[in-house]
Amino acid sequence: QVHVVESGGGLVQAGGSLRLSCTASGFNFVNYIWGWFRQAPGKEREGISCITWTSGSTYYADSVKGRFTISRDNAKNAVYLQMNNLLPEDTGMYYCAADLGPFNGWNTFAADFGDWGQGTQVTVSA
């Protein structure tokens, strides 16, 4: 049984930083692309960053490019999202998900993923 757990969220002032973590039991991380999504209140969930497990190739949405960095730890089967220079519009629930790839854009990334975790809340105050 797959169990995805996100952690590391919190309340931070604009300009601050947070580091999110994602682990998943019952899941073979190899050969997948792992990514982060977020959902702001009243908005649809959007993909913001992903990383190819084998090659380490990364992709970012324009809204977070230059501020967020995704990384992975092969030994720990974990994916991280370092978020710097946070803005109030970064507020939302953050989730991680996986896709077999290849990456063809955010509209299709993880579209079939069915093991969403509880997410971790990020709140950025102005």
| Residue 49: predicted pLDDT | 98
Query: Tens-of-pLDDT digits for all 126 residues of the chain?
Result: 789 999 999 999 999 999 999 999 887 888 899 999 999 989 999 999 999 998 999 999 999 999 999 999 988 999 999 999 999 999 999 999 999 989 999 999 999 999 999 999 999 999
DSSP code, position 41: T
Structure token digits, residue 124: 């950025």
Q: How far is CA 112 from CA 20, 40, 86, 99, in A?
A: 23, 21, 29, 8
Residues 6+ apart with CB under 8 A from 21: 6, 7, 8, 78, 79, 80
Cβ atoms 16, 86 nearer than 8 A: yes
Structure token digits, residue 20: 């999110």
